[in-house]
Amino acid sequence: MSTAGKVIKCKAAVLWEANKPFSIEEVEVAPPKEHEVRIKIVATGICRSDDHVITGALVKPFPIILGHEAAGVVESVGQGVTSVKPGDKVVPLFVPQCGECKSCLNTKGNLCCKTDLDPSNGFMPDGTTRFTCKGKAIYHFLGTSTFTEYTVVHESAVAKIDSAAPLEKVCLIGCGFSTGYGAALQTAKVEPGSTCAVFGLGGVGLSVIIGCKAAGAARIIAVDINKDKFAKAKELGATDCINPRDLKKPIHEVLIEMTGGGVDYSFEVIGRTDTMTAALACCHNNYGVSVIVGVPPAAQNITFDPMLLFTGRSWKGSVFGGWKSKDAVPKLVADYINKKFVLDPLITHTLPWTKINEGFDLLRTGE
C-alpha cells in the first residue's frame, strides 16, 4: 500500500528540552511539498554536533529532532523533484547545494545559502515544519533531522548514491568522514612529504588522519587527552601520538620542537577555543596552515597574538570538508565501494536506534 501523499506515523527521537535525554515518540511526518523528498532513514551516525545542541553549545529551538549524518531510501517525492525518485538510495545533506547562490557558483565555495545554520531557524526553506508530535510542531535540525524513521528534506539537501552502497557504512559520508577527509584534502590541500598535527581523535579527527595519509603526508602527529584513541590513530596512519596531559610544557611548544619549527598543517577537530589557538601556534610561523574543523562553542571568543598571523600563517575554517555536497557525496560513496578508503575502523558500536541515549553516553565517555 502506497504511503505517497499521506501523513506517515512513525517513531522518532524527540528532544523536548536541553540537557535531557531523547524521548522515543510517535510523530507524524507530513508528505513532501514541492521540491521536497521524504526519506526512510536506514542508518544514522551520532555526531558531537548533535550533542552540542543538547548541552546548549550550539543554540537551536526546542522541541527538535536532531541527527544529520545518515543514509536511507526515498519513500516519495514532491512536485518538481527530478534528481531522485522513490526507491533510490540517498544521503541527506546538512550542507545543501542549490547550485544558484554565490557559494555554489564559486569554484572555491561550498557553504550554500540554503544551509540551516541560523540559531533561530529549524524550519524547511518555506518556513514551516513537517513534523508534529502530541499536537505540537517539532523543529528540524540542519535541514536533515535523521533521528527518525522518516524525514523530509529539500531536494537541494539530498544526494542519490550507488544502489550497491552499504547504508550502515556510507551514512558516515553524510558528515563525519567527509568533514575530516575533506579538511585535509580540500581545505588544507595537504602535500606529499608534509608534516601534520591533528588535535582530537574522534571519528572526524581519524578521518583527517585518513585524508593526510591519502595526500602523502610524511609525518602525522595525533594529539588527544584520551590515550585509548592512539592505537586506532596509528592503524589509520598517525606516525606519533601525544597526550598533552603527559607534557611539562604547552603542546604547541612541544610540537614546534618535535618538528624543528612547526608543522605544515594543523587541524583542530574538537571545538574548543584553547585547542584552536594551540593548533594555530604549533604550525610553522611563515607558511603553516591551521584548519578549524570542530564546531566552535556558542558565545566564546578567541584572544590571540596577531603576530601569529602577521608572520605568514593561515587560519582557515572548513564546513563539510569543503566539498560541494550534491556533487561530491556520490563520488565519495563510489570511492568507498572501490576501496579508496576505509570506514569500518570509524564505527565502534552499532545499536538499535531506540538505544540512542546509550549511544550518546558512549560518545560522552570517549568510547
CA atoms within 13 A on the CB side of 10: 24
- The pTM of the full predicted model, rounded to 2 decimals, is 0.95
SS3 at position 253: helix
Residue 92's pLDDT is what? 98
pLDDT tens digits for range 267-320: 999 989 999 999 999 999 999 999 999 888 777 899 889 999 999 999 999 999
- Structure-block grid coordinates of residue 211: 585524508
Residues of the chain with CATH 3.40.50.720: 188-317
Distance of alpha carbon 96 from alpha carbon 316, whole angstroms: 21
Q: Tell me which CATH code domain 188-317 carries.
A: 3.40.50.720
Q: What is the DSSP letter of 306?
A: T
Provide CB contacts within 8 A for 361, sequence distance 6+: none
CB 361 within 8 A of CB 191: no
Residues β-bridged to residue 291: 267, 316
Query: With bands split at pLDDT 50, 70 and 90, how would you rate the model's confidence at 226?
Result: very high
Hey, which residues are catalytic here? 47, 49, 52, 68, 175
Please provide the average confidence, as pLDDT, over all residues in the chain: 95
Given strand 136-138, what is the order of strands in its sheet? 8-14, 23-29, 131-133, 136-138
Query: With bands split at pLDDT 50, 70 and 90, how would you rate the model's confidence at 144?
Result: very high
pLDDT tens digits for range 67-79: 999 999 999 999 9
Percent of the chain whose pLDDT exceeds 90:
90
Residue 62 pLDDT > 90, yes or no?
Answer: yes
Q: What average pLDDT does range 328-354 have in this prediction? A: 95
Residue 139's pLDDT is what? 97
Query: With bands split at pLDDT 50, 70 and 90, how would you rate the model's confidence at 56?
Result: confident
CB 284 within 8 A of CB 273: no
Distance of alpha carbon 96 from alpha carbon 107, whole angstroms: 15
Residue 58's pLDDT is what? 85
% helix / strand / coil in the chain, to the nearest 5?
30, 20, 45
Q: What average pLDDT does range 24-30 have in this prediction? A: 98
Query: With bands split at pLDDT 50, 70 and 90, how would you rate the model's confidence at 360?
Result: very high
Residue 118 pLDDT > 80, yes or no?
Answer: no
Residues of the chain with CATH 3.90.180.10: 8-176+322-365
Q: Vertex 316, ends 282 and 61: CA angle to 5°?
A: 115
pLDDT tens digits for range 155-175: 999 999 999 999 999 999 999
Distances (CA, A) of 199 to 35, 157, 189, 290, 336: 40, 30, 18, 11, 25
Per CATH, which fold does 8-176+322-365 belong to?
A: Quinone Oxidoreductase; Chain A, domain 1 (3.90.180)
- Structure-block grid coordinates of residue 123: 524550519
Residue 24 pLDDT > 90, yes or no?
Answer: yes
Alpha helices in 81-124 (DSSP H): 102-105
Q: What is the DSSP letter of 64?
A: B
Given strand 265-268, what is the order of strands in its sheet? 240-242, 219-223, 195-199, 265-268, 289-292, 314-317
Q: What average pLDDT does range 256-262 have in this prediction? A: 98
